[in-house]
């Protein structure tokens, strides 16, 4: 299994999930501007969508779309999901909200946009994060242990920190809790987001 990722991109969620699952995997970074992987391969030949995450399975199939990749990981490695009748559906519900509402709302921050557009995006994202904070069920979205939805949410919270988006205190605490996890620290070190000596990550860059 091989993950194609880019520094501080949404693929960090998949990177964390693989490390949390404790399974062997390969990883290679992608320059999203040049569409070249670290070893010089044209990333468009891996996926013609040209964006991360892309997860190449052992049988050669390529999975894309963060919701699908994280759902596949949680199905394959159940400790990354939540149990119960509605477990998978609740995780998908959270992943869809994070992807199609929160992630999408960050677009003006990453692309050339006016200050007005950025201010509007900040306000929108804050409201969406408020909704998520109200649905916390303990330390994480679904209880005492994190699921793939928390990993994706964590990336959004790092982006919020980077772009000065106000975050409700419950989610700031979740961000710190996640940052203290060894798998998260390993992923962040590997992506060059924290240095080898950093124990806990409170900032993304
Ligand atoms: N629909 C995709 C979008 C993924 C996405 O936005 N990836 C960004 C990084 S967070 C990317 O690779 N952007 C580069 C590009 O689109 O050229 C998904 O949900 O996985």
pLDDT by residue (tens digit) across 133-159? 999 999 999 999 999 999 999 999 999
pLDDT higher than threshold 80 for residue 176: yes
Question: DSSP class of residue 22?
Answer: T
Dihedral sign computed on CA atoms, order 193, 196, 201, 202: negative
pLDDT higher than threshold 90 for residue 20: yes
pLDDT higher than threshold 50 for residue 201: no
pLDDT higher than threshold 70 for residue 132: yes
Residue 194: count other Cβ atoms within 10 Å of its Cβ. Answer: 22
Question: Rounded to whole angstroms, how far apart are CA atoms 9 and 18?
Answer: 15
- Tell me where in the chain the CATH 1.20.1050.10 domain(s) lie: 85-187
At the topology level, CATH places domain 85-187 in Glutathione S-transferase Yfyf (Class Pi); Chain A, domain 2 (1.20.1050)
pLDDT higher than threshold 50 for residue 202: no
- Tell me where in the chain the CATH 3.40.30.10 domain(s) lie: 2-77
Which of 9, 51, 62 gets mutated to test ligand 1 (max ligand atoms within 8 A of its CB)?
A: 51
Percent of the chain with pLDDT over 90: 93
Tell me the CA–centroid distance for residue 191 and ligand 1, in Å: 17
Residues in the chain: 205
**Per the CATH hierarchy, to which homologous superfamily does domain 2-77 belong?**
Glutaredoxin (3.40.30.10)
Would you state the pLDDT for residue 82? 97
Which of 52, 102, 156 gets mutated to test ligand 1 (max ligand atoms within 8 A of its CB)?
A: 52
Rounded to a whole number of angstroms, the distance between the first and last alpha carbons of the chain is: 28
Angle, CA of 160, 161 and 163, to the nearest 5°: 65
Would you state the pLDDT for residue 196? 79
Q: What is the mean pLDDT of residues 100-123?
A: 94
Would you state the pLDDT for residue 112? 81
Question: Of the given ranges (46-50, 61-65, 93-97, 195-199), which has the lowest mean pLDDT?
Answer: 195-199
Question: Does the Cβ of 87 fall within 6 Å of ligand 1?
Answer: no
Q: Are 147 and 74 in contact (CB under 8 A)?
A: yes
Residue 11: count other Cβ atoms within 10 Å of its Cβ. Answer: 26
Residue 19: count other Cβ atoms within 10 Å of its Cβ. Answer: 20
Q: What is the mean pLDDT of residues 98-122?
A: 95
pLDDT higher than threshold 80 for residue 123: yes
Q: What is the mean pLDDT of residues 181-189?
A: 98
Residue nearest atom 6 in ligand 1 by C-alpha distance: 51
Residue 42 pairs in a beta bridge with 36
Where is 54: in which H helix or E strand?
strand 54-56
Question: Does the Cβ of 140 fall within 6 Å of ligand 1?
Answer: no
């Amino acid at each position: 299994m091989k993950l194609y990722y880019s520094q501080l991109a949404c693929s960090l969620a998949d990177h964390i999930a693989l490390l949390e699952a404790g399974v062997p995997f390969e990883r290679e970074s992608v320059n999203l501007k040049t569409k070249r992987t670290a070893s010089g391969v044209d990333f468009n030949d891996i996926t013609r969508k040209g964006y991360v995450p892309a997860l190449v399975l052992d049988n050669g199939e390529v999975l894309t779309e963060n919701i699908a990749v994280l759902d596949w990981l949680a199905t394959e490695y159940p400790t990354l999901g939540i149990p119960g009748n509605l477990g998978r559906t609740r995780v998908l519900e959270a992943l869809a909200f994070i992807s199609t509402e929160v992630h999408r709302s960050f677009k003006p921050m990453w692309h050339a946009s006016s200050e007005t557009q950025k201010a509007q995006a900040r306000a929108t994202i804050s409201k969406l994060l408020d909704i998520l904070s109200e649905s916390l069920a303990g330390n994480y979205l679904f209880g005492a242990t994190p699921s793939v939805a928390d990993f994706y949410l964590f990336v959004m919270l790092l982006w919020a920190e980077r772009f000065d988006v106000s975050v409700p205190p419950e989610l700031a605490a979740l961000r710190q809790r996640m940052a203290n996890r060894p798998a998260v620290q390993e992923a962040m070190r590997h992506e060059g987001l924290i240095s080898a000596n950093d124990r806990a990550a409170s900032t993304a860059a």
